[in-house]
Amino acid sequence: MNFDQVLSAIGGFGRYQKILYIWICLPNVLLAFHMMVSIFTGATPPFHCRDSSSPGAGNQSSFPGTLSQNWSASSDSSCFSSGVLLQDNRTERVPCGQGWVYSTETFQSTVVTEWDLVCDKAGLNSLSSSIYMFGLLVGSVVFGAMADRYGRRFILLLSIALQTVFGVAVAFAPNFPVYVILRFLVGTTISGVIINAFVLGTEWTCTKKRMLAGITTDYAFGLGYMLLAGIAYLIRDWRKLQLAISAPGFLLIFYIWVLPQSARWLLANNRSEEAIALLRKAALVNGRVLPPAVQVEKILGGGKQSHSAVDLIRTPQMRKRALILFYIWFVNVLVYYGLSLGVSRLGTNLYLTQFVFGLIEVPARSLVLFVLPLSRRFSQSGFLAVGGLACLLMLVVPEDQSNVLAGLAMVGKFGITASFAVIYVYTAEIFPTVLRQTGIGASCMFARIGGVLAPLINMLHNHSPATPLLIFGASPLLGAVLTLALPETADRPLPDTVEDAENWDISPSPSPEKKNPEMSEDFSPSASSTDEQELRHLANQA
């Protein structure tokens, strides 16, 4: 029997796994807080130059005539003082010499108002978001490698602890450079939580339930998305808001006692006794009986075959599929965060729009559960097309039609969110077993590059409002076309080796009993050598 068959024997998604997913979902709520909080803490309220006669010190002031957010913050009228009379009776505008006055109608304070990130410094705000996203890229490499060595549980606990400490520290940042550095460190820990929570959950869940279980954790992210809108509505000061979203992480200290290690990782690191004890505990909680320990240890032992990321592009078919998947991952994250972080430019109520943007993720991910079993390829292509077309349609809508723009943005968010849910499953099924973990890791790195570029592309709006939408619209449409060149994986056995992947389109489908064991949940007392080989790959790569 292979590891998936062992999981089926003890209950592949029983009470033990459901409790585990509750523990996994809680940090996902906090992840949404940290990922989206810059929409509020980094917002730019309406402002104008401070006159030398303006009373009081500080940057905060309410001024009449401001009924809504003015997103032409870098316009000449806001960045220059009124004309100065010269000797030849000519007037000349000069940059603000006394600083700026900011409206407090919507925000009491933001990082923009505290450190004057407007006009010639406006780009620093978007740059800080890109540096934060770069932290996610660094974290995926650092914490991913550490998890392979020290275990999923320890690195997940460490990531949550560091995320909480650095998140609270951000609220006390004395200046903008320190703020950026601390946000970067928070970003690295975000990847540590995402990767290890996802892997820990999937390594304890039988194959047939992994898609449902994975999307369940995505619902938790959507919940955090919506909750953030309410918290930000109640707390308008950026330091207090940052503290409010970070401090709850201290409540997760009880995870030290309730979060289990991955039995698959323990087996891969020759800690069989601990793995057997965990499997026996899971079987007891699920009301099942673990097969004899000797039998399990015999099957789960094995060596590790040598494969590297180079194997992803060594052969023609693998190279084509890997490059297409890398691009789709890049586009998904680029457009997802491009739309999410650009919500403030829609001209509607920021808090309500943020709430709806989170709410729209629920039907998007729910729809995936129904259409994904029918076709992976057409689901992926269709959702990408919906996201891209919605962004392009926004180009022809007048700026004063804010409700129409917001509606199209939500359709785009719907499509790209659903596409995001599909790509996780599709990628795992296209890459062969011997390269599955490597392929997903490489895909995530390209995704993080999209996250780094999203704030920078949004910054182009100040110079050319159509450019970001053109990029966010055209790139998913290209991805939708490229997806059609990928193989269909629904109801098909998955490739084990690179050779299987190369011959996938030309070889006949094997008989049911020879299908990839990852797609089988049925427990059988006997296992083929292919089952044993796959388990060794999975256990050692887990």
**Closest by alpha carbon to 385, among 403, 411, 362, 364?**
411
* 337 Cβ contact partners less than 8 Å away, ≥ 6 residues apart: 35, 133, 450, 451, 454, 455
- Lowest mean pLDDT segment, chosen from 59-73, 149-163, 289-303, 474-488: 59-73
Q: What is the pLDDT of residues 9-58, one digit of tens each?
A: 888 888 988 899 899 889 999 999 999 899 899 888 887 777 655 444 44
List Cα–Cα distances, 353 to 64, 111, 205, 359, 367, in angstroms.
25, 21, 35, 10, 21
Q: What is the pLDDT of residues 437-472, one digit of tens each?
A: 677 778 888 988 998 898 888 888 877 888 899 999
Angle between helices 466-483 and 376-393 (to 10 degrees): 160
Alpha carbon of residue 360 to chain centroid: 16
Query: Rounded to an integer, what distance in angstroms lies between the CA atom of residue 323 and that of residue 482?
Result: 10
pLDDT above 70 (res 514): no
Q: What is the pLDDT of residues 257-282, one digit of tens each?
A: 999 988 877 877 778 888 888 888 88
Q: Which two tokens stand for residue 498?
A: 């690179």
User: What is the chain's mean pLDDT, rounded?
Assistant: 79
- Has this prediction a pTM greater than 0.85? no
